[in-house]
Structure 1
Amino acid sequence: MPFVRGETPSSWRSDFFVEHLMHYAGQIPKWEGLRDERYVYARYFEQSPPFEFFHDLETDPMQLVNLAGDPRYRTALDRARRRTNTLRDSYGGPFAVYKKPEPRKPNVVLIISDDQAWTDFGFMGHPVIETPHIDALARDGAAFTRGYVPTALCRASLATLATGLYPHQHGLTGNDPTIALEMQGPTYWNDPRYRELNAQLIANIDKMPTLPRLLADRGYVSFQSGKWWEGSYARGGFTDGMSHGDPDRGGRHGDDGLAIGREGLQPIFDFIEGAGDNPFFVWYAPFLPHTPHTPPDRLLQKYQSEGRAVELTRYYAMCEWLDETVGELMTYLEQNGLDDDTLVVFVSDNGWIQKTPQTATPPDWFTSFAPRSKQSPYDGGTRTPIILRWPSVIAPARYETLASTIDIVPTILHATGASVPTDLPGVNLMKAVEGRTIPRAAIFGEGFAHDIADINDPAKSLLYRWCIQGQWKLILTYDGAVHRYAMVHPRAHRSPELYDLIADPHETTNVAAEHPEIQAWLSERISRWWPLR
């Protein structure tokens, strides 16, 4: 700002925007940049991607060394890029014909861990499990450590990731429709009654503006791999994929797609190479660390320890096996020059606490997971870290902001410049990354039976609803039908459960009796969020 000697300015400018305009071809800016107290940044638009200069005036006052490619300056460079964008957009240029550039179209890779607890990562503090590649995503990106899935069950959770809707909205609340109690496994899935009802469930996805469909409107090609319950990949709007969904060939929850990760990543690499100049979206939902827990022997041996249950050893090894595949995928992106402008999103579909012979369970408990994890409303089932990594845009940081997987679809749509449906309940997490306030005080969730009692009425299978605001979490219990998995949902008591997640992160002490006013307040919030008939 201009001032004269002896005067005290009311405010100081710490940086300023610079641009040079060429007066031809629509007066498109030739270059623009930023100068602050220490750095000079400029980018040239004749090239795609733009060529950048970055100089450190403290060490190089003559601006002779271009530091744009120096990893030591990545954070400062990212900050300069974002600040340049902000100043340019607020300034608009000196000519009326100046046009704001079209939003970028980053590639998008969505990595979905299958059955992994929020604690079971190195960056989340696990004392044994090693996940160096996922840790690197968290270190280099925005890590929302208080992330949640609305429903801790595979199909419901994956449908939320594909649509951005709560399960009671998209209708895919459980893994299977209900037919006969005495039937299990393939006998159940191949029954004509099951097939008819499941076909009606899958038809839900045909009517929804899924993430792949919305990205297609922006010119994206998309690839499905791994877990996928809704028939063929094409039913979800993917342009390519691995799952055929044909029940006569074993199609149920991913079929051929379940080989990804366990048998390598070549189908993903082939798809990316075939995408050409089109921006791409990859759905990578490997059957990892999901059962069967059959890790490579080298990893199994690594985690063997005296006194450690073999079930736990196998699970730990599976977590690292997943991490290795993430590393392989990231290495491919880096080696092919795709790393810098690819938005990588990492999340788990639901939690998992491994059952061992020492785990206290009801007598008829037959699942591999322990109580209060998968299929439950507790953090052992619903909590997950959510990571956003986009080196050219997102500065590394950790956030304690409450986040939900309903936020992932709107976040990706905003990042890609795609149209965002107005009825999506989630928020754009990039607001937190940009230093803005996320307009939400609480997050919500719901638990349903594994087997759907009535495919047209989600409330018939409703077991739990919950709300988190600040440190408080309230869980309410309902009388929905449970069918084959009754032992997972004993519901021995129906009274509300209130937990202080900061003081009691593993929800060991119900303090509802001590805080009736908080219980009533959150209960009212739940009722307004999804009013039951």
Structure 2
Amino acid sequence: MVWVFALLPILAQAQKAKSSRPNVIVIFTDDQGYQDVGCFGSPDISTPNLDNMAKDGIRFTDFYSASPVCSPSRAALMTGCYPTRVGVPVVLWPMSPDGLSPEEVTIAEMVKEQGYATACIGKWHLGDQAQFLPTNQGFDSYFGIPFSNDMSVNPEAKVSAEVLFREGKDLNKLRTEKPKKFDVPLFRDDEIIEYPVDQTQITKRYTEEARKFIVENKEKPFFLYLAHTMPHIPLMPSEEFKGKSRQGLYGDVIEEIDWSVGQVLEELRKQGLEENTLVIFTSDNGPWNLKNGHGGSAKPLRGFKFETYEGGMRVPMIAQWKGMISPQSTSAEIASTIDLLPTIAYLSGAELPDRTLDGKNIWPLLSGNSNSKTPHKEFLYYSNTTAEAIRVGDWKLRVREGIVELYDLKNDISESNNLAEEQPKRVQSLQKKLDKYDTALKSDQ
């Protein structure tokens, strides 16, 4: 009886969350390291807005991207599936014939069925051919650079009649010249509106678009996917933030993104939407292994972007929803970007896509309920189409190029003590689980 009464407030809060059809904002950075937020231990980067988000909400210490590189991690977030399942296992480039299949169901498509307004602002990177762009994947509008900012341009892309050409470019040069690295286009919906875009202004322009979208849709539920272009290289903060951080250009970029987060949260307050908006902040994978102030930090984790060590895929995650998420909460349970789609489905009342999902509803964790446990029996670490590692509870098995590694992440977060030879039975058990899940996933494609 005591247990039942203790459970009643939790059930009541869950019902309230589900019936509110909240707005949802996902802020997704590019190549931001695990440590590169003040509340995650950064000694040299100031992030007061993100730190306040954590004070007002919850911080996840064991949150994962589903890939150590860009395109696959974004496909996973959008679909609730490991990237191999949805056919985006590698990074996509301009002019690639591949992309996220329109047959897949994105978060945007799912919530549109519930009357949500949807917008994608920032980096898309799930295909730049017309059929793969956000406006053909459930988003009412798109504003951003459709791939990484170190790439170039698709000479055959649709161009707006009001396009702004910069740096001596014109339509003929766009169509005929060899694309130049770092000269990337800015899109509005499905056409180029600026080429090459001034990257020093891109964080500010994304922020202005986000605030505008919130104001225009304040009377109805909305889903905003704000995917920042940086801190992917090249690092280009605005003049107002250049030289501001103690961690070089990289820190300058993060501090400008933190400013952007503050602007979005301020607009929610201004419009009276704080108590009906779930805001999630996280990164697509770990940081580049770069020096001279151009790279981030995954400390105390081992590894970087491109790797299936923790530093490549465990990322900072903060969530806020005033009145619904317990303030100053921390969760050390396993969760991932693949969980966002099923969680948003639960909160919005949307039906889950009629297909196999790898993600789970993590609202019990998000709400800050300290008794909630991860819904994942296992979590897989994919590199391209290869399942290189698996985590079950506190144990992680990693097998790459014949090297077998076993780590107790609870006592060895830095993956410095390989226990594979000492615990062959555990290695065998985890290997069987990894093979079973991976085989089932690939047979289901």
1:433-464, CA deviations, whole angstroms, 9 ceiling, x for partnerless residues?
3544443232112012xxxxxxxxxx4xx3x5
Of residues 19, 28, 43 in structure 2, which corresponds to 1:112?
Answer: 28
CA contact (8 A) 1:205 1:235 kept: no
Q: Per the alignment, do residues 368 and 250 of structure 1 end up closer, same or farther by CA in structure 2, a change over 3 Å counting?
A: farther
- CA–CA separation in structure 2 for the residues paired with 1:253 and 1:472: 42
1:389 aligns with 2:320: yes
Instruction: Give the Cα separation in 1 of the matches to 2:287 and 2:427.
Output: 27
Q: CA deviation at 1:171?
A: 0.7
After superposition, give the CA deviation of every residue in 1:396-436 in whole Å (9 maximum; x if it has no partner). 21111011111111111111111123521111111223544
For 1:107 and 1:114, locate their aligned partners in 2 and report how far apart those are by CA, in whole Å. 23
Q: Is the 8 A contact 1:227 1:254 kept in 2?
A: no
Cα distance in 2 for partners of 1:502, 1:518 equals: 16
How far does residue 329 in structure 1 lie from its aligned partner after superposition?
0.9
Does the CA-based 8 Å contact 1:226-1:254 persist in structure 2? no
Alignment CA distance shift 1:212-1:15 (3 Å): closer
SS at match of 1:224: strand
Q: Offset at 1:85?
A: 5.2
Number of the residue aligned with 2:226: 284
**Displacement of 1:13 after TM fit?**
10
Single out whichever of 293-302 and 407-416 deviates more from structure 2: 293-302
1:137/1:254 Cα in 2 relative to 1: closer, same or farther (>3 Å)?
farther
Instruction: Give me the whole-angstrom Cα distance separating, in 2, the residues matched to 1:271 and 1:112.
Output: 17
Structure-1 separation of matches of 2:7 and 2:335: 34
- Report the counterpart of residue 161 of structure 2 in structure 1: none
Q: CA deviation at 1:106?
A: 0.8
Could you tell me how far apart the structure 1 residues matched to 2:292 and 2:145 are?
Answer: 38
Alignment of 1:28-427 (within 5 A): 84=12, 103-176=19-92, 189=94, 195=95, 198-199=96-97, 201-202=98-99, 204-229=100-125, 230-231=127-128, 232-243=133-144, 247-248=154-155, 255-256=186-187, 260-263=202-205, 265-275=207-217, 277-297=219-239, 299-304=241-246, 312-356=247-291, 372-396=303-327, 397-421=329-353, 423-427=356-360
Secondary structure of 2:101 counterpart: helix
* Change in 2 beyond 3 A, CA 1:515/1:225: same
Which stretch of the first structure deviates more once superposed, 339-348 or 263-272? 263-272
State the partner residue of 2:425: 517
- How far 1:381 sits from its partner (Å)? 1.0
Matched residues in 1 for 2:408 and 2:39: separation?
A: 23
Unaligned 5+ residue runs, structure 2?
147-152, 159-182, 189-198
Aligned Cα RMSD in Å? 3.2
User: Where do residues 480-491 of structure 1 align in structure 2 (5 Å cutoff)?
Assistant: none
Q: Distance in 2 between matches of 1:511 and 1:12?
A: 40
Instruction: Give % identity.
Output: 28
Question: Residue 376 of structure 2 corresponds to which residue in structure 1?
Answer: 440
Contact 2:17/2:324 (<8 A) preserved: no
CA drift of 1:272 comes to 2.5
| Per-residue deviation, residues 146-199 of structure 1 (Å, max 9, x unmatched) | 00112111111011111111111111111137xxxxxxxxxxx4xxxxx3xx23
Instruction: Give the 3 Å change call, closer, same or farther, for CA 165–16 of structure 1 in structure 2.
Output: closer
Inter-partner Cα distance in structure 1 for 2:271 and 2:254: 26
Q: Cα gap change, 1:356/1:140 in structure 2, threshold over 3 Å: closer, same or farther?
A: same
Indicate how the Cα distance of structure 1 residues 11 and 505 shifts in structure 2: closer, same or farther if over 3 A, else same: closer
Residue 134 of structure 2 aligns with an amino acid whose one-letter code is Y
- Count of matched residue positions in the alignment of Structure 1 and Structure 2: 386
Q: Distance between the aligned counterparts of 2:26 and 2:7, measured in 1?
A: 36
Amino acid aligned to 1:126: S
Q: Look up the SS of the partner of 1:303 in the other structure.
A: coil
Counterpart-to-counterpart distance in 2, 1:278 and 1:123: 33
Shift of 1:140: 1.4
Measured after TM superposition, the shift of residue 502 of structure 1 is: 2.6
Which ranges in structure 1 are unaligned for 5 or more consecutive residues? 1-9, 18-78, 90-99, 178-188, 190-194, 305-311, 359-366, 449-458, 478-492
Deviation of 1:298 after TM superposition, in Å, equals: 5.5
Instruction: Sort the Cα spacing of 1:12 and 1:518 in 2 relative to 1 into closer, same or farther, 3 A.
Output: closer
Question: CA offset at residue 268 of structure 1?
Answer: 1.9
SS in 2 for 1:496: strand
Tell me, what secondary structure is at the counterpart of 1:473? strand
Partners in 2 of 1:171 and 1:253 — Cα distance?
25
TM-aligned CA distance change 1:106 to 1:16, over 3 Å? closer
The one-letter code sitting in structure 2 at the alignment partner of 1:471 is: D
**Letter of the 2:86 counterpart:** H
Q: Contact 1:228–1:253 (CA<8 Å) still a contact in 2?
A: no
Kindly indicate whether the alpha-carbon contact (under 8 Å) linking 2:53 and 2:318 is maintained by their aligned counterparts in 1.
yes
- When residues 16 and 393 of structure 1 are mapped into structure 2, their CA distance, relative to the original with a 3 A threshold, is closer
Q: How far apart are residue 522 of structure 1 and its match?
A: 1.1
Q: Deviations over 1:215-259 (max 9, x none)?
A: 000000100110102332212210112148683366999843776
User: How far, CA to CA, are the matches of 2:184 and 2:345 in structure 1?
Assistant: 26
Higher normalized contact order (CA 8 Å, seq sep 6+, divided by chain length): 2
Which amino acid in the other structure matches residue 287 of structure 1? T
**C-alpha spacing 1:221/1:11, structure 2 compared with 1 (3 Å):** closer
Kindly name which structure, 1 or 2, has the bigger radius of gyration based on alpha carbons.
Answer: 1
Shift of the 13–470 alpha-carbon distance from structure 1 to 2, 3 Å rule, reads: closer
8 Å CA contact retained: 2:18, 2:347: no
Distance 1:278 1:376 in 2: 41
Shift of 1:12: 11
Sort the Cα spacing of 1:138 and 1:120 in 2 relative to 1 into closer, same or farther, 3 A: same
